[in-house]
Amino acid sequence: MDSVKKQSIEQLEIAPDVNRPLIDPIAEKKLLRKVDLRILPPLTVLFLLAFLDRTNIGNAKIQGMTTELKMGGHDYNIALFVFFIPYILLEVPSNIVLKRISPSLWLSCIMVLWGIATIGQGLVKSFEGLVAMRVLVGIFEAGLFPGCVYLISMYYQRYELQWRLSLFFSASILAGGFGGLLAYALAKMDGIGGYSGWRWIFIIEGLLTVIVGIIARFWVCDWPETANFLTEEERAMLTSRLQTDSGEAIMNRLDKAATKRIFTDWKIYTGVIMYMGIVNTGYSGSFFVPTIIRELGYTSASAQIRSIPIFVVAAICSIASAYLTDRLRHRFGFCIFGLVVASVGYVILLAQEGLSVAVKYFALFLVVPGGYITQPIVLAWVQNCMSGHYKRSISAAMTVGLGNLGGIVASNVFFTEEAPLYKTGYGVGLGFLWICGAGDTLILAEEASKAL
């Protein structure tokens, strides 16, 4: 067997570049630090607020929203579900628009609009009004996440991407903890201005989004070739290192042939399956962890506070695994590790009858962090397989957009009548984890076959 066949699977995910021209390593490190400081902070803040605004309904729920709006049966599930319909349908079109205009303008505009819709959730008088506002939030948030992933991927080489995407993605994890803390504080505004505490959660968080959205027009950077925070020499260096890192033909034109190659690439659809499987757990945690904790016997205020450490631990685990993933240039093992950890948590929750409150609470520290170890790795892995403006743009939007079908499922499997056991929700979550695992294995097998 030749030496290539003897390579370990860990080295087969993406072959290293051997044709890259020499670049001064000191200048390169300086360039990367500069890019990190200008690209990641604004996009991370935008995503934190986006995720906060789509999931703060979980915090509002246990502060009296469902009672005041006379919501019963599956009304809460419906309010979650309707967000995903426009969110999924509009992600690919939004990323195509992003490619045609400046990211700073597009992301700023949609952020202001979903911020206004979030404020509207705090002003509604009926369940129907809440549903209408949730649809609007879904419409305007559709372009944010895939747009940010695409923009970040245009600035970094393949094995620089995972670490940065996980730092960016940690915003969604921290939104769970930050949202619990903020909801705890805002709920104390109950009665001010004649508004209930749950209304202030939407109003204040939506107002914050509008303000940051206006600032984003001047804070968010555009494409590498027009990045005005770089010198001409730095732009040339950045462009050179990105071009030599590409492992396949660049597709910067969206003609008929390029469109066919993009939409017939099976790796994109495998990425959708992987993301759909893991995002189910992410949304289950964001939408239902406060409720699950309250069902353990805690007050609403205590449940908000007790949700915080779960998401803090998840953020630490996600960032640590991302660092190791890029350092070791290996993705599959970390994906599977996260799936196994989350699976153990689900098994505990499925068998929770007779277990102590402490054990049930501990299980959430397995489910949520385990899911968030894998989720950003999946995104980076799929983007690593793509090259060219349009292909990366469309693949990012398709992965996130169609993958969010997992969010629709998560919205509709935690039934009020099954509380506090939620066996359907936990069982479906466990099954979806291993849908992701199957996709991981398929991608790894394809990478391995390239070396044989």
Residue 63 has what pLDDT?
93
Residue 248 has what pLDDT?
43
Q: Which domains does the chain have, with CATH numbers?
A: 24-248+255-450 (1.20.1250.20)
Distances (CA, A) of 241 to 58, 229, 244, 451: 44, 18, 5, 24
Q: Is the pLDDT of residue 385 over 80?
A: no
Biggest CA-to-CA distance, the chain: 77
d(CA 257, CA 87): 28
Give residue 386's pLDDT band: very low, low, confident or very high (50, 70, 90): confident
Q: Which residues contact 75 (CB under 8 A, 6 or more apart)?
A: 66, 127
d(CA 88, CA 150): 16
pLDDT, mean of residues 191-206: 96
Higher pLDDT, 439 or 117: 117
Q: Is the pLDDT of residue 5 over 70?
A: no
Whether residue 157 contacts residue 242, with contact meaning beta carbons closer than 8 Å, is answered with yes
Please report, as a single letter, which amino acid is at residue 47.
F
Q: Is the pLDDT of residue 251 over 90?
A: no
Size of the chain in residues: 452
Residue 389 has what pLDDT?
64
- Out of 127-131, 244-248, 276-280, least confident range: 244-248
Residue 329 has what pLDDT?
81
Residue 245 has what pLDDT?
63
Percent of the residues in the chain that have a pLDDT greater than 70, as a whole number? 90
Residue 449 has what pLDDT?
64
Q: Is the pLDDT of residue 319 over 80?
A: yes
Residue 387 has what pLDDT?
65
Task: Name the residue among 163, 158, 116, 172 with its Cα closest to residue 139.
Answer: 116
Residue 252 has what pLDDT?
53
Q: Is the pLDDT of residue 244 over 80?
A: no
